């Protein structure tokens, strides 16, 4: 009987699984430290626990796919694009954290994500992102009356 060849795992899903596991752990930790404001129904931490569970399930799925042998050649990850998306998310988080607001953060998110997909018209993407972000802000803030993080631009509306 011929032994089966040892399958080496695909590194990209393993790295993604590790990152997703870390996000799940941070989400779970954050949910466990939330204070409960109501004595009835579900608290705000229930959504965070659910998000942590979803991240954990996604991490497990990536690990399973990493160790599943395929007959297809494995594609190499485009780490430059991943870096652009990381910068886009960092721009959104930084904008909100530093008081720049939702519109500025979402504009950066749109333009930098478009750049990660290979688009070179950065100024056009900034304008498109600003229009979309403004529309979403007005929809949430004025129509749905849900508060989004406010910065100097949002205070104009």
Round to whole Å and give the CA distance between 104 and 12: 31
Round to whole Å and give the CA distance between 62 and 18: 9
The Cβ of residue 132 has, within 10 Å, a number of other Cβ atoms equal to 15
Q: How confident is the model over 29-75, as pLDDT tens digits? A: 988 887 766 556 666 677 888 899 999 999 999 999 888 877 666 67
Round to whole Å and give the CA distance between 23 and 17: 10
Q: How confident is the model over 78-104, as pLDDT tens digits? A: 889 999 999 999 999 999 889 888 999
Structure tokens that stand for 145 in this block: 């009356």
Q: Interior CA angle at 123 toward 122 and 125, to 5°?
A: 65
Element (H, E) at 59: helix 45-67
Q: How confident is the model over 108-123, as pLDDT tens digits? A: 999 999 999 999 999 9
Share of the chain above pLDDT 70, in %: 87
Closest CA to 14 of 76, 54, 60, 75: 60
In this prediction the pTM is 0.61
Q: How confident is the model over 11-22, as pLDDT tens digits? A: 888 889 999 999
Q: What is the pLDDT of residue 153?
A: 81
């Amino acid at each position: 009987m011929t032994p089966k060849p040892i399958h080496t795992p695909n590194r990209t899903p393993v790295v993604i699984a590790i990152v997703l596991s870390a996000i799940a752990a941070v989400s779970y930790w954050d949910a466990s430290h939330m204070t409960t404001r109501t004595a009835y129904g579900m608290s705000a931490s229930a959504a965070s626990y659910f998000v942590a569970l979803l991240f954990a399930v996604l991490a497990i799925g990536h690990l399973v796919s990493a160790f599943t042998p395929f007959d297809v050649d494995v594609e190499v990850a485009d780490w430059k694009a991943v870096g652009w998306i990381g910068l886009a998310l960092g721009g959104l988080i930084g904008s909100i954290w530093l008081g720049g607001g939702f519109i500025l953060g979402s504009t950066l998110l749109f333009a930098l994500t478009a750049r990660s997909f290979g688009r070179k018209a950065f100024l056009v993407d900034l304008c498109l992102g600003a229009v979309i972000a403004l529309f979403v802000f007005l929809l949430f803030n004025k129509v749905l009356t849900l508060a989004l993080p406010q910065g100097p631009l949002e205070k104009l509306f």
